[in-house]
A and B are shown apart, each in its own frame.
Chain A
Amino acid sequence: MSDIADKVKKIVVEHLGVEDDKVTDTASFIDDLGADSLDTVELVMAFEEEFGIEIPDDAAEKIQTVKDAIEFISANS
């Protein structure tokens, strides 16, 4: 779990170019981290690659915070 969380946060930091300490569990990609819709698609694709999973569109729509991503990936990888 913590391993997944670390990887997720690292991807978010790299993709969105934000400071580590801003990427908290409850941080929203769009509202808190300045992502636009294209960024969220890129993030989902990066998660898929990193963890070797497929995130269906309807699930991707629900991944709005760092915690959402960690929980989905933990449950599906």
Chain B
Amino acid sequence: MFDLTGKKALVTGATGGIGASIAKMLHAAGAEVVVSGTRAEKLQDLASELGERVHVIAANLSDRESVDQLAKDAAAAMGGVDILVNNAGITKDNLAMRMKDEDWDSVMQVNLESSFRLMKGVMRGMMKSRWGRMVNITSVVGVTGNPGQANYCASKAGMIGLSKSMAQEVASRGITVNCVAPGFIATPMTDVLTDEQKGAITAGIPSGELGAPEDIASAVLYLASNEAKYVNGQTLHVNGGLAMI
């Protein structure tokens, strides 16, 4: 089950805790993988860890040309892209009243616009081969909202609408477009929280603990597989029951 042998995957934000886990899991299932991110050195470390069937392409997703180039380079490196995982995301948190224009713009650009451009960049190849999987990593707060994250929540909610529209456009070509919405996941980002802060967070989670990056990667693996061919335009919430939507 979930055999991705021969499939070619592009994972953005692969230097992050969740992105690296996704890249590893798709690779372990047999896929050839392009790992992309901003930190070339960390990408190289990940690539060496994985061994064969891996390509490193650094890209700046806040730059349109760089995004379009990434889609082309990834297809050139692997001879096509069958699976796209838009995982890269940034936060620039602040209360709306204090939020600067550039904080709004950069979050929208990296989280939402780059996802759209990459989807657009790989979709023709998928249409020709009559098979494709696009998995967009959104967030529980894209559905619930979160004070201090108007830009981030808007971008993540945007990804859900974007995915549903794209899914309807390309479903007839054997392509699915779905989202995975993580809740609180233990990553280097959450390591810096104090035990008290973590306690406050886990108090709201029925399972009583933070999720692991592998919990997200497993959901991505499923949606990227042949087995998930009849799942389209959906958002799979992986949050320990934090929000039951």
Contacts and interface: CB of A to CB of B under 8 A. Distances in A.
B172 interface: yes
A45 B127 CA distance: 13
Interface residues of A, number: 4
Interface residues of B, number: 6
A42 B172 contact: no
A38 B124 contact: no
B53 interface: no
Contacts of B172: 36, 38
Interface in A20-71: 36, 38, 42, 45
Nearest to A45: B124
B173 interface: yes
A42 B169 CA distance: 13
B170 A42 contact: no
Contacts of A38: 127, 169-170, 172-173
A38 B126 CA distance: 13
B132 to A, nearest CB: 13
Interface in B127-181: 127, 169-170, 172-173
Interface of A: 36, 38, 42, 45
Interface of B: 124, 127, 169-170, 172-173
9 contacts: A36-B172, A38-B127, A38-B169, A38-B170, A38-B172, A38-B173, A42-B124, A42-B127, A45-B124
